[in-house]
Amino acid sequence: MISDQGFAKLDSQLAPWSERLHADLGVSADAAPFLATTIAREVAALDPQVRLALRESQPVRLADRLDELKAFQGFMDFASASGGLPAIARAQVIVQNYVCFVYLGESCFRDLRKALPPGVGRACCAYLTDNPVRAFRNAVAHANWRYRSDFAAIEFWARKGASLDEPIVKWEVSQGDLNFWQALARCTAYAAYISI
């Protein structure tokens, strides 16, 4: 595991969301500005056999997952520096939503939620795998989303629960909420993967 100083950049990226972390996830005011560091400590404190099981529970190695996250970050940096070209911006949204909610939801958040005791990391994983983020993940995976006409939000359609008998309903996520969800997903995954 890297030192707490190694998580300072991730901590600073989530620091602007401290009040929201406290209000929406129940993260203490003391832990919220140090979200990545706190998650990393909780994951590192897991029994070594639990961490081993998390590393070996899937056919894709953890090192390969980290490589994908690094490549994703490289693409995000490139896309952000592209000058706002519409095609690049739209590709960025698609890639970011897939990686943050489908890829990381399946490869990290579900298993980590089960493995962690109650605390900050588990609260983050629960938030990222429950509605409305869960519904958005499903809409992304099943191509049931579009930009709102003013581009200030994404409209999406998904079931509220897991039953296929439930009707698909319309949801909406503002750009601000989506930014928070994406930042939380990236922070949680990096802190966990590096600490497992």
Return the pLDDT at 5.
55
Residue pair 31/120 in contact by the 8 Å Cβ criterion: yes
* Distances 185 to 107, 133, 139, 146, 170 between C-alpha atoms, Å: 12, 10, 17, 21, 23
- Give the distance, in angstroms, between the CA of residue 172 and the centroid of all CA atoms in the same chain: 18
Query: Facing residues of 146 across strands?
Result: 155
Mean pLDDT of the chain, nearest integer: 92
- Give the distance, in angstroms, between the CA of residue 144 and the centroid of all CA atoms in the same chain: 19
- Give the distance, in angstroms, between the CA of residue 58 and the centroid of all CA atoms in the same chain: 19
Q: Work out the burial of residue 179: count CB atoms within 10 Å of its CB; fewer than 13 is exposed, 13-18 middle, 19 or more buried.
A: middle
Return the pLDDT at 192.
94
Element (H, E) at 133: helix 133-141
161 confidence band (pLDDT: 50, 70, 90): confident
Q: Which string of DSSP letters, residue by residue, matches 101-114? A: IIIHIIIIIHHHHH
Residues 44-89: pLDDT tens digits?
Answer: 999 999 999 998 888 998 889 989 988 998 888 888 888 878 899 8
Position 6 pLDDT exceeds 80: no
Return the pLDDT at 44.
95
Residue pair 15/38 in contact by the 8 Å Cβ criterion: no
1 confidence band (pLDDT: 50, 70, 90): very low
Domains in the chain: boundaries: 4-130+175-195
